[in-house]
A and B are shown apart, each in its own frame.
Chain A
């Protein structure tokens, strides 16, 4: 009787522990990546949707204005290039924890990087000097 009870107890504990590990893994499978194309400059206006970027770059980059040029949401993995204005494209390969990012302008690759993204923390890729200011690409997971 006691043996059966102990076996049942062990089975329940095993299921609970494995369930606790498996649930977060399953939750991580659906990954949506947000890509924002931003024009940074020396003005004073900060787009309300770019408050996180302003807070992140404050003290590190000498920009005081941030303007959102375009924003895209992509489900990873994605095989299609993400098109932006000004003939810019972002190519993504892999999942967030093993992601290849290539920013191209026309046919020329500008920046290639391999990253591991975690949580909702933004990754800022920049800066490409243009006539209006400096272009940044901000990538972060949204779920």
Chain B
């Protein structure tokens, strides 16, 4: 009757299968091979990504905060009416543009004043 030992011996002689080595020698061999390539410390990569993301988000927030005044004038800038052009077709003696602000800083605005402008009676109803 053929036993398992017979089969194992027969296979060993035919295939020259290396016998399993001890655990200690296996791990020393594994570590020696592992030292040949650079190994990263576990957890290092995610932390780097986290800091990079935080830095990106922070700089984005700073950019957004600095951009807000270009899109939306706060109340402190509300009085800054800009008069870009003025044309007076009727006879007049002079014109002036005033940006006015009161002492309390609340009543601000602009005055476009044309002097010597008479109401034409031809156009009156």
CB of A135 within 8 A of CB of B119, answer yes
CB of A118 within 8 A of CB of B57, answer no
Q: Is A3 close to B, CB under 8 A?
A: yes
Q: Is B20 close to A, CB under 8 A?
A: no
Q: Mark B72-116, 1 if CB is under 8 A from A, else 0.
A: 110101111111111111100000001010100001111111111
CB of A10 within 8 A of CB of B113, answer no
CB of B89 within 8 A of CB of A114, answer no
CB of B47 within 8 A of CB of A2, answer yes
Interface segment among B3-11, B28-36, B60-68: the answer is B60-68
Q: Is B56 close to A, CB under 8 A?
A: yes
CB of B68 within 8 A of CB of A20, answer yes
* Closest residue of B by beta carbon distance from A130: B119
CB of A105 within 8 A of CB of B119, answer yes
CB of A2 within 8 A of CB of B109, answer no
* Closest residue of A by beta carbon distance from B112: A125
Contacts of B61 in A (CB 8 A): 13, 17
Q: Is B15 close to A, CB under 8 A?
A: no
From 45 to 60 in chain B, residues with beta carbon under 8 angstroms from any chain A beta carbon are: 46-47, 49-50, 53-54, 56-57, 60
The complex places the Cα of A115 from the Cα of B87 at a distance, in Å, of 12
Min CB–CB distance B40 → chain A (angstroms): 14
Q: Is B12 close to A, CB under 8 A?
A: no
Q: Is A25 close to B, CB under 8 A?
A: yes
* Closest residue of A by beta carbon distance from B83: A115
Q: Is B120 close to A, CB under 8 A?
A: yes
CB of B83 within 8 A of CB of A120, answer no
Residue of B53, B102, B118 near A10 (CB, 8 A) is: B53
In order of increasing CB-CB distance, the 10 nearest A-B pairs are A119-B78, A106-B123, A24-B72, A17-B64, A2-B46, A6-B53, A13-B57, A112-B87, A116-B82, A122-B109
Give residues in A with beta carbon < 8 Å to B: 1-3, 5-7, 9-10, 13-14, 17-18, 20-21, 24-25, 28, 52, 55-58, 60-61, 86-87, 105-131, 135, 140
8 inter-chain pairs at a CB distance below 8 angstroms, sorted by A residue, are: A108-B120, A112-B85, A114-B84, A115-B110, A124-B111, A128-B114, A129-B118, A140-B109
